[in-house]
Amino acid sequence: MRYLVIPAYEPDEKLLTLLKNLQPYHNLTIIVVNDGSNSSYDPIFKVANQFSTVLYHEKNLGKGCALKTAFSYITNIKYKIGDGIVITADADGQHTLHDIFKIAKVCEENPNTLISGERHFTGNIPFRSRFGNKVTKYVFSLFTGLSLNDTQCGLRAFSTELLPFLSSIHGERYEYEINVLLEGIKKFPIKSVPIETIYIDGNRSSHFHPLKDAIKIYKEIFKFTMSSMFGFCVDYIAYAFLISLFIFVTTEVRLILSNIIARLCSAIVNYFLNKKFVFNDNQCVFSTASKYALLSCGILVLNTFIILLLTQLGFRNLYFTKLVTELLLFFISWSIQKHFIFLKHQANKS
Compute the distance between CA of residue 94 and CA of residue 92 in angstroms, rounded to an integer: 6
Over residues 249-273, the pLDDT tens digits come to 888 888 888 888 988 888 888 777 7
Compute the distance between CA of residue 320 and CA of residue 318 in angstroms, rounded to an integer: 6
φ/ψ (deg, to 5) at 135 = -60, -50
Those residues whose C-beta lies under 8 Å from the C-beta of residue 21, and which sit 6 or more positions away, are: 97
Those residues whose C-beta lies under 8 Å from the C-beta of residue 12, and which sit 6 or more positions away, are: 44, 92, 205
Whether the model pTM is above 0.85:
no
Q: Which residues pair with 85 in a beta bridge?
A: 2, 159
CA neighbours closer than 13 Å in the CB half-sphere of residue 174? 22
Over residues 32-82, the pLDDT tens digits come to 999 999 999 999 999 999 999 999 999 999 899 999 999 999 999 887 777
- The answer to whether the beta carbons of residues 7 and 34 sit under 8 Å apart is no
Mean pLDDT value across residues 132-149: 65
What DSSP character marks residue 218? T
